[in-house]
Structure formats: structure tokens, C-alpha cells
Chains A and B, each alone.
Chain A
């Protein structure tokens, strides 16, 4: 050590090592996992789905930047969590959803669902679902208008409803569908078919995604594989979807056995609608799910139970969104009653009584 150059010794406190996994990496990987689902959506529904995804994502990013600027926080777009919200939001919307409504949904999702609470880490509900819940209430017709996939001209031509002018109701797609769709397209999703007409769509079609539905919810198999990628990389808690599927099976199984005509099989329940996407990518949103080991199972169980109850006994055909939002709201309560038993504690629960 030479005298000339002054040596600086750094002092830090332990631990001096850091695992390499960062928030950005987790969020980036979730985006990667969502991309194949987006790609399938574009393949199935064409240019409308592509632009829909771009619009919600851009709207989400711009909203986040705006709120960061307004509140004087450093711009947090770089952590990629806002991209996840934008992508997920698009995937839950009908492929022909008017683009201006999609932009509104993106704004509400980030503005109301996330930024007003303080940004990443502070939101109490899944922002994408907040956005979707808003447009479901505001535009009930547009959000239940389904168009067929795999149309020959889908890469060149927009679904007419997509291009509705801002603050205008979209044109009725009925004529367009009749002109373009294969014979017999009713516009009903497998869930609606099942619920109102007791026609059960085959599991194979649900897995492959050759059914109508929201832009990114059609192929259960693809969503499952993408979700497993995250679970294997330990960036998603596999226990949450497991708990949801388990609860959905436990609730729908007995119903199906009682009356197979009216109540669908558990397999149909799991593969249809938005349950797969919701279970894999929305319920598992780290910020709004409980962290305690038992809480995670309870949380998933609530979502599975509510989804089946809403679908079978409620007025809506789909209940995943509300099930997850309700479970999000319950999450702090679940966490507080399921604090882990600490090592060496003599009694069951932790919190206050173990101290005394």
C-alpha cells in the first residue's frame, strides 16, 4: 500500500452478499412469459388484437409516467411492472374492444389501481383487473361482444368495433360477423354456451384455444405452460394457482356430480374463461397476494370458490375478475390471521399471545 494514494476502506454491515435476482428481472420475466400468449392472441384475432395490446400497454406506460411526474417521484416505468399491467389488461378484453375504451381502461388501471396508492408495491388490488372492472361497468355491451378468431382477413382488416371513435358507441358487429364468420357463429363464449344453453365445449378446444373469448384467455394450455415457466424460475408462487384449481375442483366437482346437465365438470371450469390466465398471472401478482404460507392457500381457495359460485349462481357468465378483486381486498386480513408460527414458539399462532 503506497503512502501516496489514499486507500479507502468501505464499511458496510452484513450480509455482504446479494442474490442477483432483482425486481426488474422478475418483472421482465413475467413480460417474457406473457409474450407467447400475446403472440397467440394476435395469431388468432389478427391486427385488432395486436393494436389492442399496444394501446393498453402504451396507455399504461404513459399514465405511469404522468403520475410519476405529477407526484415528483422518479419515473418507475423501468421496473417493467407497468408493462405487465398493460399486457394483462389487453389479454382480458374482447379482441374487438374499441381502442379508445382500451386506452381508458389502461389509464384507469394504472391511475386508479396503482399510482394513486403510491405506485409499485403499494396497490391493494391488481391494477389490470381494476381497469377491466371499470370498463365492464362503463361499457357493458362492448365488453361482452365477441368476435370469431381465425378469420382469413384478420391480419389486414380491423374488427369494425375496434375503430369506434372516442366517446362513440361502437358499430354493431353483428352484420360484419355474419358476413365473415363461418356458419353458426353465435358470438357466445364457452362459458355462456354452458351457462345458458348447457352446451359444453370440449376440453381439447379449450386447451388449444380454438374458441371465442377474450383476446388472451382462449388457450388454457399455452397459459399453463407460460405460467409454469415462471413457477420453475421461482418468480411466481405455484401454490396460488394450485390452490385455485384445487378449490375450483372441490366446489364444482360435487355440483357436477349432482347435476351434470346444469353444472359443468371441474375440468371445464378450470380450462374455460379467464380462470387459467387469472390464476397464473393475476392472482399471483406478488403485491396483492398474501405472503404467509398458509395465507397463500387460503387466498387461492377463496378465488377458486368465488369463481365457481359467481359463474354458477350469479348473473354473470364469468367470475374470475371479481373473485380475484375480492380476494385482493381480503389479502391483508388473510395475512394477519395466518402469520407463520415462529421457530421455537411453543404455541400455535405467532403474533401477540406467543410473546406473553
Chain B
């Protein structure tokens, strides 16, 4: 809480941090298509929920855009072929960014194929009923493209007794380095608005608000120009501050309402979608197509040709890195943004639907002198940074004493969404977020054993 907050202009939430955003590397670069990799790996479990079930067999030829796996349940989505080629395997284990290996469909790309998407059927969105729209969203294989990879259609069906009144479209992109949502808002404004209209119909929401951080005012202008007067859709600038793009924070900034602790946005009648998700839906649903590619920001000091690339789902990071080039000092490849993303252990990890960025860091002089961890000096910087208003200092001390259960029962460990603000500001270099992640994992295991 600084004195300057009194003079702020854009809407915002309390607490949070202001890391250097490093977006100038890629923000001005238009989206470019990445070539097709010779082999594509489509993991069946690349979203939250049940894994998809393969529909194809090894040796079978697939056409780009064709469904290759069906949803494994309601909270699950189908997969579509990102390239025209031949299926080589349907259960090859590939590493994921999170670590464990997972079965994937492997497609060998036909080099001579035109890679035209022939699949799909044009249809009139307004003729579809609400149920048909929701089905169409699931059939497109759409998940949250902001990084969560939660199946989009699930959020369209609120539980009994709850209704969605407000749709919030997340164009914050608060992670440093990432600019793919920024480019999508600038270059695919019409698709985005189409997607929002479809979702308004699918949810029955009365209004939609697009929240964009005020370091992207060009995107706000571009969207506002396309919005007719009196429209139920509006676009608002919010303060550039991390983690503005966390859904609870954005709702608080725009509506001044808090999602209950342990609850979901739908508990206060809100559904939040990422701009990239809706821009894709605005393009795919009217043509009954599936999600086969996405915009990925490739940036960071270790990248030769940073930019925003349209990458087929399943492209291995190794191929991506070969295309963009990497410096010899590059030593850390992060999938997602640098605040919440995961550094990968292998470049065989494929780009999945939830990958919004690939950030490559170099070994720097600063890295080499490892940050010394001091005892907590109780400066309170973490309390002033935590957007959930937790007491990370206290949680950190409890974690040091391995009192993981006390952390959850008395200090709200489970409300932490691991945004990383506390670790970021800690002058003693205590790895707080990392401690909390361990504590949560241990608690989960203890619970599983007890059950």
C-alpha cells in the first residue's frame, strides 16, 4: 500500500507487484506462422479434467483439423489433427512441462501436403440454441488459452441455482515478456468480438467487460472502435500490475467484488475468459472447426528471433527453439510466463493448448552468485504484495518448521494461487511460493493416504 495509490487512475485491486514487463521485445511484432514440425506430439491430457480418448489408429492418415480424439467425459475436450499426415503412435509417452510423462498421439507431417484445413462447416451462430452452442464449444476442443487449460464449455453451464450475469474478458496479460494476447486483441479484434457475442448468448449474461492493462491502450482503442454504441460489451483499462490477470483480481478490479474464499467466479455470477480463447472461438465456432494452433509469445534474453508465432499444437519445443534460434548462454526454458510458468527439463515437451509463451533465460553473472537466503527480517513486503492478503512471512516460518497442516488450517494456505509475488519481493530471498507449493503437495498426499 503506497501513498501513490491515492492518485491512481485505472481500476485496480489491492496489493500486487510491478515487475519490469520486458514486453517491448515482442509487442510490436505481428503474429507470424511457424513452419510445421516433421513430427507432432498431441498429448491426450493437456487440459484440466479427464484425458481425451484417441479415435485414430497407428498408420491412419489424418487431415489437418480432423478430430483425432474425443472428450473423455464432460470435463474434457476432443483433440484435432494439427497437421495433415500419418499417425505413428497413439500412446507414446512424452514429457510435459509439469514433469511427468503422458501418452500422446504422434503424427508424422506430410511434407508435400498443402496443410489446408478442409474440415468444418459454415453455420449461422444465431440459429444455434444455447445447448447447441455449449456443445459446439466442447466440440471445438477449446480450453482456457491464458494458461489454465480449463475446458471452456464447463464454465458455460453454471451449477443449479447459479446464473452468469457478467462475462469478463481477460486481456490483462500481466506476465512479463508475454504479448500474444496483446497481438490477438490488435490483429483479431473482430474474431474476439464475435467470440464474446457467442459467449454472451451461450451464458445468457447481460453484459461483457473486456479488462485490458493500461500498458496496452492501443488494444483498448482498437477494441472500442469496433464496439458499436449502446453495446452490452465494454472495454476498460485496468492498472498495469501483476497479477492483474488472475481472475479473482480482475473481477475485483472491474466489479469491486470478491470471489468468496474457496469459491469460483460463478458464485458471484461471473465467468472469466481469456481474450485468446474468445478470439479462437469467434473464428472456430461459426465454421465448426477445432483448436489446432495457437499464438505463442517466444521471448526472453536467450531467444534469437523473439516474436509472436502461430504454433501448431503438439510442436516440440526443440523444433520451436531451432526455428527461433537461441543464444549459447541460454540455460532455462520456461513454458508460460516467468512469474508462474514452469521451466522444462526437456525440449521434447510439446506446445500444448495452454502454452501462452516460451521464455528463454540466459545464464547471467547474477545467476551465478546464488542468491543468499537470509532469515526473515519481518519487513512485511510479502504481506503488502500478496493479492489474497495472506501472511506469507508467517506461512514461510511454518513451512520451515514443516507445520504444513497448520499452514492450511490456520493461515489459509489453500487460498494461495502461487502467483509468486511474495518470493518476488522478499529481500531475504526466501523461496516462499516454492515452500507453499511443497506444503500443498504434502497436504494433498497426507489427505490421500488418510482417505
Contact = CB atoms under 8 A, between A and B. Distances in A.
B248 A16 contact: no
B341 interface: yes
Interface string A334-353: 00000111111110001110
Contacts of A121: 374-378, 428
A120 B338 contact: no
A183 interface: no
B342 interface: yes
Q: How large is the interface on B (under 10, 10 to 19, 20 to 34, 35 or more residues)?
A: 35 or more
B248 A343 contact: yes
B165 interface: no
B377 A14 contact: no
A291 B248 contact: no
A22 B428 CA distance: 6
Q: Which of B263, B346, B393, B427 has the most CB of A within 10 A?
A: B427
Contact of B340 (A15, A21, A23, A339): A15
Contacts of B338: 14-17
A249 interface: no
B236 interface: no
Contacts of A13: 342-343, 431, 433-434, 437
B375 A237 contact: no
Given A121-B378, A342-B390, A355 B409 contact: yes
Interface string A1-39: 000000011111111111101110110000000000000
Contact of B343 (A11, A238, A291, A292): A11
A286 B334 CA distance: 35
Nearest to B414: A355
Given A10-B331, A355-B412, A15 B423 contact: yes
Q: Which of B252, B334, B375, B418 has the most CB of A within 10 A?
A: B375
A16 B332 contact: yes
B387 interface: yes
Contacts of B248: 343-344
A119 interface: yes
Contacts of A354: 261, 412
B344 A9 contact: yes
Contacts of A289: 378
Interface in A80-126: 81, 118-122
Nearest to A5: B328
Contacts of B332: 9-12, 16
Contacts of A10: 331-332, 343, 363
Given A17-B176, A19-B19, A291-B378, A11 B427 contact: no
A287 to B, nearest CB: 5
Contacts of A205: none
B259 interface: yes
Nearest to A122: B375
B339 interface: yes
B410 A352 contact: yes
A237 B420 CA distance: 22
A15 B242 CA distance: 12
A182 interface: no
A354 B261 CA distance: 9
Contacts of A81: 377
B374 A11 contact: no
A18 B390 contact: no
B378 A17 contact: no
Contacts of A18: 371, 423-424, 429
Given A342-B412, A345-B261, A350-B412, A16 B343 contact: yes
Contacts of B437: 13
B424 A9 contact: no
A26 B415 contact: no
Contact of A14 (B374, B412, B420, B429): B420
A343 B258 contact: yes
Contact of B334 (A16, A79, A340): A16
A22 B415 contact: no
Contacts of A287: 377-378
B436 to A, nearest CB: 11
Interface in A262-312: 286-289, 291-293, 296
B217 interface: no
A292 B359 CA distance: 35
Nearest to A76: B374
Contacts of B409: 352, 355
Nearest to A296: B380
Contacts of A9: 331-333, 343-347
A346 B342 CA distance: 33
A345 B428 CA distance: 29
B367 to A, nearest CB: 8
A37 to B, nearest CB: 22
B25 interface: no
Interface in B325-339: 331-334, 336, 338-339
B133 to A, nearest CB: 30
A293 B378 contact: no
B255 interface: no
27 contacts: A9-B331, A9-B332, A9-B346, A10-B331, A10-B332, A10-B363, A11-B343, A12-B332, A14-B420, A14-B433, A16-B359, A19-B17, A22-B371, A22-B428, A23-B377, A238-B3, A287-B378, A288-B378, A291-B383, A292-B391, A340-B389, A343-B258, A344-B388, A346-B261, A350-B411, A352-B410, A355-B412
Interface of A: 8-19, 21-23, 25-26, 79, 81, 118-122, 234, 237-238, 286-289, 291-293, 296, 339-346, 350-352, 354-355
Given A14-B338, A17-B19, 11 more contacts: A10-B331, A14-B420, A15-B433, A16-B359, A18-B371, A22-B429, A25-B427, A340-B383, A342-B261, A343-B388, A350-B411
